[in-house]
Amino acid sequence: MADKSKFDTETTARHYAAARPTYPSELFDTLDDLLGHRLAGASVVDVAAGTGISSRQLAERGAHVTAVELSGAMIAQLAGSSPGVRAVQGSGHALPLADGSADLITYAQAWHWMDPERALPEIRRVLRPGGVFALWWNQTDRTSGWAKEQAERITAVVPGWGQEDGTDSARAAELDHVLPRKHSFRFASQRTVPIETHLSNLASKSYIAALGEGLEPFLDSERRILTELFPEGEVTEHFSTLLVASLPNGGDLSIAQKSQAV
């Protein structure tokens, strides 16, 4: 898998920074539990950090965060909006960090871009003994209503996009041979945002950004449809967030009994 970001344009980075959702507070409560209530003060490496959404949320919990991001456009957004977060340009396939320097390594909305055979040795190298590896995804709920209809319109212009967007169960299953002693957790959340924010979130998706000259016509069509459906100018997006955690260097998680099958 080549070390080249699909998000290395200023336009995509700007949409990403403006409109991607944050992650549920319960997820960070769970990370704190996994670390024995030591997230505050922990050394955390947030890999493929994008514009710093998860990095900032980790820092808000008192963690000392190093954000590693390959894209120059994304890390520029991150550095400008994430005070207290150390930003380092680099790849999860060759982390520019010292051996045994992290209590927690995270991948938010990003592990599917990694080659596990290259990334996992780097995770094991940089994690301290007993360190936690955690990865998670926000998944838009498109099972009904306007969101389901929008998914059908996306399929019409980007056949196969669902394979890239993924599903919770598929992602968990893909990790079985990589992290045999993993534990999984799921959280539900929602947000109500202006239609323009929703459209920027769409435009930040790699498969939508790849429409090129077809991007603006697609967004214009969605704007018309959504404005007719929601004349007040806001939509409510629903998310399911999957968190997967393990101890790659051995041991077992202290809250395994709380993990949820997915």
pTM for the structure as a whole: 0.88
How far is Cα 229 from Cα 146, in angstroms, rounded to an integer?
8
Q: Which is more confidently placed, 261 or 85?
A: 85
Strand 43-47 and strand 102-108: pairing? parallel
pLDDT of 108 reads: 96
257 has pLDDT over 50: no
CB atoms within 10 A of CB 68: 25
165-174: per-residue pLDDT in tens?
656 566 666 7
205-241: per-residue pLDDT in tens?
888 988 999 999 999 999 999 999 999 999 999 999 9
Amino acid making up residue 255: I
CA angle 157, 147, 113 (to 5 degrees): 60
pLDDT of 4 reads: 63
Structure tokens at 106: 């995270």
Question: How close are the terminal C-alpha atoms of the chain, in Å?
Answer: 27
pLDDT of 164 reads: 56
- The mean pLDDT value for 56-78 works out to 95
How far is Cα 127 from Cα 123, in angstroms, rounded to an integer?
6
SS3 195: helix
Distances, alpha carbon 78 to alpha carbons 87, 88, 94, 137, in Å: 7, 10, 20, 19
Per-residue confidence at 1, pLDDT binned at 50, 70, 90?
A: very low
pLDDT of 165 reads: 60
pLDDT of 197 reads: 97
122 has pLDDT over 80: yes
Which run of H or E residues covers position 241? strand 234-246
pLDDT of 253 reads: 66
Structure tokens at 125: 């190298």
Per-residue confidence at 12, pLDDT binned at 50, 70, 90?
A: confident
Closest CA to 22 of 260, 203, 239, 209: 239
Amino acid making up residue 105: I
How far is Cα 46 from Cα 135, in angstroms, rounded to an integer?
10
- The mean pLDDT value for 146-151 works out to 96
258 has pLDDT over 90: no
Which run of H or E residues covers position 184? strand 183-194
- Asked whether 131 and 253 are in contact (CB, 8 A), the reply is no
CA angle 214, 216, 221 (to 5 degrees): 95
Which range (58-62, 111-115, 148-152) has the least confidence?
111-115
Distances, alpha carbon 240 to alpha carbons 131, 143, 160, in Å: 26, 11, 21
247 has pLDDT over 70: yes
